[in-house]
Structure 1
């Protein structure tokens, strides 16, 4: 467990460093914006610098924006998830302030693509290891427990505001390049982890009762168990169906590995659900 937590912290730190590199080396100088709270901090910093002549670093603003969200997450989501989010935000803030803001390329398209790929790798691996980059991830986690409506609309709305202001305050092309960066970041995250709000896990196991008890000890989710038989071995097994949020995917993987390492699990995207989805996690 200690080794696993150490690895998770290392991944979170590396993810924060990659986010800082994407911003300072590619996006900031090009006036191309990232998504979520990072993009908001970047946009506010640009406005203060270019229109008011006040130099406030993106990292400092990112930290300030995340303080109330972290407090909310501490009480509404859980201490463990929030602690990793705080580590990610602090690391990103520190390296945004330490690393120089430079121009690697004068080609805005190359900046948009490179920044989007690097940021996507950082966020994707952070999510894959059961942590988050703070900001909208914590808000989405809270919303996913409060209601069964898609939370993607909140991401879309915030990113839409960032894109609009990028086009209004600077050149309209900046809005288009920001859209390109956000699209690439999302695709990279999808390739590494998943950006879908909910996923369905189908688990083939010999230890359905033990696995069910272990899952319910960690999370409150409905589970359907149906008999199954191996086509080759003719061995009687059980298939477990459950729908979870993407933030719980790491925890589910750890539970399965600890309870039944021989279980076979298929995780698929859930585009929509009808009926009751347990939300009192």
Structure 2
């Protein structure tokens, strides 16, 4: 039987509660008082509130239940239970902040959109980092990321979904509101990435095809102190078998490797691919074990 890690559970719910508070504050104290619209289920709920007169928190509940059902079907009970937690907790916190009637910024839509993007992005990032979802479009993005678009960043999928919602808001409200919403979503997307993957410089993956692969391997192993993977490949033009080297390192180390290769084999082929994050043992890599 798997041992229950109490400290990890406490840490999970602490960060999730903090994320809920930040997002609820951003919506009730920055977004709504400024007359702005956002993406996600919140944006849909606000749009329907304007069209129907029904309070957006009630609409949010109904839409969250529909997303929850989809998550249970596509991602299983474990993910579903995590969404259940936030489907109950987040709307409750949102209602509390709505009743407090706190206005953080007034009469400055540009500044409001910037602040909303920052606060909401940090809050959403905290929830996603612990593996939870608010039961909104971030859940839909998570499903698409896991099942279909594994090669696309979670924040990019969120941006595409929310852009569709924001485009609809331009019809209900006006173009200015929609444009401010786009600004806040872009800022939020960047903050989600920073919270989830940290402030460190991005990693790169280098693929090298060279006749001097032994010298290059030794340089990467002993001078750069990075691991190297090698595999045989077959070229399509010459139909010849070559050896391809692959390593993951920082951008600065990539430039050192490039300099060495240019001095060693100027005819080498080098492919550099940006990497969002690396999990595992290694210098500058993130640990697979979650912090408690």
Match of 1:45 in 2: 49
Match of 2:282 in 1: 264
The one of 168, 173, 178 equivalent to 2:176 is 173
CA contact (8 A) 2:159 2:186 kept: no
Question: Is 1:25 the counterpart of 2:32 in the alignment?
Answer: no
* Counterpart mapping for 1:52-71 below 5 A: 54-56=53-55, 58-71=56-69
Q: Deviations over 1:117-172 (max 9, x none)?
A: 11001001111122222222332333344435766786445323322233222232
For residue 174 of structure 1, report the CA deviation from its aligned partner.
0.7
CA contact (8 A) 1:22 1:119 kept: yes
Partner SS, residue 29 of structure 1? coil
Partner SS, residue 131 of structure 2? coil
Match of 1:87 in 2: 85
CA contact (8 A) 1:17 1:91 kept: no
* Counterpart mapping for 1:1-281 below 5 A: 1-48=5-52, 54-56=53-55, 58-100=56-98, 101-104=101-104, 105-148=106-149, 155-193=158-196, 231=222, 263-264=281-282
Structure 1 length-normalised TM? 0.64
Q: Deviations over 1:196-249 (max 9, x none)?
A: xxx9999xxxxxxxxxxxxxxxxxxxxxxxxx995279999989999xxx9xx8
Alignment length, in residue pairs?
Answer: 222
The separation in 1 between residues aligned to 2:165 and 2:220, in whole angstroms, is 52
Partner SS, residue 37 of structure 2? coil
For residue 103 of structure 1, report the CA deviation from its aligned partner.
3.2
Structure 2 CA distance for partners of 1:87 and 1:179, relative to 1, 3 Å: same
Structure 2 CA distance for partners of 1:81 and 1:237, relative to 1, 3 Å: same
CA contact (8 A) 1:85 1:133 kept: yes
The separation in 1 between residues aligned to 2:38 and 2:227, in whole angstroms, is 50
* Root mean square deviation, CA, Å: 3.8
5+ residue gaps, structure 2, are: 206-218, 231-245, 249-275, 287-292
The separation in 2 between residues aligned to 1:162 and 1:148, in whole angstroms, is 20
The separation in 1 between residues aligned to 2:225 and 2:188, in whole angstroms, is 44
For residue 266 of structure 1, report the CA deviation from its aligned partner.
6.0
Larger radius of gyration: 2
